[in-house]
Amino acid sequence: MTTAIAPEVFAPLQDIIEPKWWTGTPAISPELFTIDGNEFRVSGEPLVPSPELAERMQKTFDDIGLVHVINTGLTDMQAMRLIATQVLKNERKYEGGANPRKALQPNVYEVGAPLESWLHYHHEMAYIDSSTKMLSFMCNKIPAEGGYTFVSDNVAATESILATPFGQKLKELGICYHRDLTDRDSFQDRVEYGVYNHWQLSMLTDDQDEAIAEARARGLNAEWGEDRKLKTRYTTSAFEFFPHLDRNLLYSSMADDGAWFDTWPLVQHLPSEERPLKLTFGDLTEMTREEKELFIDIYDRHGIPIPWKVGDVGLICNYRFAHGRPSIHLKEGEERELGVLIGESFDRLQTREDKW
């Protein structure tokens, strides 16, 4: 028997702040980070790894922090993975986190979010002690129009936000990530209204003792709430020291607030205080609507679209760029599938006082 879903379950209950993604002009010229695979293909064959390609990709990544390889002729995701791993050499197995991700192929994961939901700019795995240095996207299927990923120049965003009282407040107080993970067993016989991710999927265990131990091993304060919800809190700097540039960079965004669910089916109907994620200052004080608008706008000012085509491979430095995307609405027969590779992990240093 199919349970009907009431229309109000899809309707937001509050005013939302819609991201603009970019100004209409890329913050960094695509010429600086785009590599044409045709330059490295032999006799029109699909692109394969080579020392020359690896050198170009590595230099581009070192200089810019962003690589977009186009015209690869590739249609197999493992072949795309071989191109990505010319730079992303130490792949990280997905060990659970915020979004529920399914493996498409070994070490290749799906994006893990509904297409109709926009995904605010964010830095991957910024909400735990062990983050990641980089990630890669590989385009396997894409609609005729749209479906782009956007990246935001985080060096410029850092300078912009520190020039504001809000940025100085973030610098002084830090931030606290609040996350409530539901219990999968509680939803076996009912529609998953209000569900973002179950703790069993996030912590990769069905055992409560193991789940809370895993959460604490990631640097989270964790406790059990009503209905076997796993409630975690993580207080840290809103910035992160980046050794490559020898400076502190912005490393947080509104993606970790209830605003993440403004267009998320089955969750967007919840008032902000009942949503699974919440972001506050490190002293637990609330951000004002104006501060949240500014946090979103800072990234939007420095946005750059990545116009995917099948076979494209992208690499993103998780320090120098945030990434996100608008809502995607497919036409009949269309699909969008990006494979995700997660790069080498690092233990968060937070900030150095002499590196602002």
The whole-number average pLDDT for the span 87-104 is 62
Domain limits for position 73: 28-346
Measured in whole angstroms, how far is the alpha carbon of residue 200 from the centre of its chain?
A: 21
pLDDT at position 286 is 96
Q: What is the average pLDDT across 239-255?
A: 97
Q: Are 19 and 324 in contact (CB under 8 A)?
A: yes
Question: Is the C-alpha dihedral spanning 91, 95, 97, 99 positive or negative?
Answer: positive
pLDDT at 6 over 90: no
Domain assignment present for residue 189? The answer is yes
pLDDT digits (tens, 9 = 90+) for 69-85: 999 999 999 999 999 99
What stretch of H or E contains 269?
none
pTM beyond 0.85: the answer is yes
Q: Give the per-residue pLDDT at 104.
A: 44
CATH of the domain at 141: 3.60.130.10
Please identify which residue in the block is written with the tokens 């500014």.
Answer: 294
In a domain, 243, yes or no: yes
Q: Is the pLDDT of residue 1 over 50?
A: no
56-65: per-residue pLDDT in tens? 999 999 999 9
Determine, yes or no, domain membership for 9.
no
Give me the amino acid identity at 255.
A
Mean pLDDT value of segment 103-131: 76
Mean pLDDT of the chain: 90
Inter-CA distances, 342 with 43, 81, 87, 96, 263, Å: 32, 11, 12, 12, 25
Q: Tell me if 351 is assigned to some domain.
A: no
